[in-house]
């Protein structure tokens, strides 16, 4: 809207360069463009996005007020009223979400690359929600988003952290020295829409499995199909074992980390023998056999849809490239409703 507003000035021959109103208008447009760049970089440069976003907003609001005064659209009382109400609402929401100095109960490595952090429960939350975590021992300012993997009725809260950057590397090195954390959350996610469906398909790639760890537990009276694909074998340690007492989700596990054809054939042959003998997969330890290739999405969706053509919720977390492939295949199914959370 700000850009359209500026174009309108240019069309009608109004001032766009030669006074403070014009300069502030162009600066606000520049801030909007920079914010868009930050949003595009969010998955790779989260701290740049997070703090740049906040700082630019702090600059944008005064510019908006001054711009309105100098263009005589509003006076200070009117514009501050317009700005103040949303700002107060934002501050209130952040205050309600902020929980400082929560005691860390345990922190231990599940695998070489994954840590589970357990801390005292101070907030009510739902399955599939996430939070922003600050660990002062690592950085007093940095906040990072993590899915809550514990169940809402558990006594403690838990998150899973994958070692993928400088901040997480420091966390792994100092895990025994962490005494407390700061929490910003919980924050709603699209997984809350699961309750709308009697049949759901949960799809995760890589570390995108974390939001489903709690979701897969305790789904009652729901037909559940869980598709998981990863090239890193340590991610399979995060797959929750199905609880036959509350329902039995169907698992479709795909391991894409084996590229050599001979190695793939060798592992498949051994896995087939183990599975036939013990009824257990050699890679995951589950009762569903792992497939050493990428999912054939068309075949999977056709198979899942063929025996029960009802309204189905499809929920995905993981790579944006995988999401694009899935969305293309889902256009064939009018009864499938797609929700994504990509990184």
Low-confidence ranges of the chain (pLDDT < 50): 11-17, 74-75, 245-246
Tell how strand 199-205 and strand 312-318 pair up. Answer: parallel
pLDDT at 11: 47
Residue 295: the pLDDT is 92
Rounded Cα distance between 269 and 263, Å, is 10
Strand partners, 281: none
Neighbours of 317 (CB within 10 A): 27
DSSP state of 291: B
Contacts of 270 (CB under 8 A, 6+ apart): 282
Closest among 114, 116, 150 to 233, alpha carbons compared: 114
Rg (CA), the chain: 25
Q: What pLDDT does residue 339 have?
A: 92
Q: Is 119 exposed, middle or buried (0-12, 13-18, 19+ CB in 10 A)?
A: buried
């Amino acid at each position: 809207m700000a850009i359209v507003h500026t174009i309108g000035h240019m069309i009608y021959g109004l001032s766009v360069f030669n006074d403070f109103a014009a300069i502030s208008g162009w600066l606000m447009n520049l801030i909007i463009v920079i914010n868009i760049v930050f949003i595009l970089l969010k998955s790779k440069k989260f701290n740049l996005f997070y703090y740049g976003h906040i700082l630019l907003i702090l600059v944008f609001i005064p510019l908006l007020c001054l711009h309105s005064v100098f263009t005589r659209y509003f006076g200070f009382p009117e514009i501050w009223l317009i700005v103040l109400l949303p700002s107060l609402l934002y501050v209130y929401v952040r205050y309600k979400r902020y929980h400082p100095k929560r005691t860390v109960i345990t922190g231990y490595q599940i695998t070489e690359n994954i840590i589970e952090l357990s801390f005292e429960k101070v907030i009510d939350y739902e399955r599939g929600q996430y939070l922003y975590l600050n660990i002062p021992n690592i950085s007093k300012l940095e906040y990072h988003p993590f899915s809550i993997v514990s169940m809402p009725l558990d006594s403690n809260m838990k998150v899973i952290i994958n070692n993928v950057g400088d901040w997480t590397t420091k966390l792994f090195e100092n895990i025994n020295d962490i005494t407390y954390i700061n929490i910003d959350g919980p924050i709603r996610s699209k997984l809350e829409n699961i309750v709308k469906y009697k049949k759901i398909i949960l799809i995760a790639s890589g570390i995108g499995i974390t939001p489903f760890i709690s979701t897969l537990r305790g789904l009652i009276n729901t037909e559940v199909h869980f598709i998981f694909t990863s090239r890193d074998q340590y991610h399979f340690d995060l797959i929750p074992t199905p609880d036959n007492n509350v329902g039995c989700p169907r698992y479709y596990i795909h391991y894409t980390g084996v590229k050599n054809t001979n190695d793939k054939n060798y592992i498949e042959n051994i896995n087939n023998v183990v599975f036939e003998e013990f009824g257990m997969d050699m890679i995951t330890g589950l009762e569903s056999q792992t497939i050493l290739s990428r999912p054939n999405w068309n075949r999977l969706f056709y198979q899942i849809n063929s025996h029960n053509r009802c309204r189905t919720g499809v929920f995905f977390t993981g790579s944006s490239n995988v999401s694009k492939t899935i969305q293309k295949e889902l256009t064939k199914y009018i009864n499938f409703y797609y929700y994504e959370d990509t990184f």
